[in-house]
Amino acid sequence: LLSGIVLLQGENSRDSKESKLLKIESEKIFTVLNNSKTPYLESYPGQVWPCDTFPAIFSLAVYDKVYGNTYKDFILKWLEKVKMRLACRWG
């Protein structure tokens, strides 16, 4: 939600508190996903629901759209991990 708010505000009317919060939250999302054994965040103890992670990735993509390509390489690697897991499961 925060990434959408910042995106919709536009460059000239962006709230600095929300921008700072988006940066902090994006770093948290990146750190947790980057340290995860799977490309998915744990939704419940010991369980993952892949669809729960997509809003987090979308938020990183919005951050990149607004502020530059900080997470681009990570997102591309994450997508490859997801594709590999799908290929192993269905291929």
- Which pLDDT band, with edges at 50, 70 and 90, does 11 fall under? confident
| 36-19-65-6 Cα dihedral, nearest 10 degrees | 110
For residue 61, CA distances in Å to 3, 7, 67, 88 come to 9, 11, 10, 26
Q: Which of 2-16, 25-39, 45-59, 75-89 has the lowest mean pLDDT?
A: 2-16
Token output for 23: 């940066």
Other C-beta atoms within 10 Å of 8: how many? 9
What single letter denotes the amino acid at residue 56? A
- Which pLDDT band, with edges at 50, 70 and 90, does 91 fall under? low
* Confidence at residue 63, expressed as pLDDT on a 0 to 100 scale: 95
What does the mean pLDDT of the chain come to? 91
Token output for 71: 């997470």
Contact between 7 and 59 under an 8 Å Cβ cutoff? The reply is no
Mean pLDDT of 59-79: 96
* Confidence at residue 12, expressed as pLDDT on a 0 to 100 scale: 82
* Confidence at residue 79, expressed as pLDDT on a 0 to 100 scale: 96
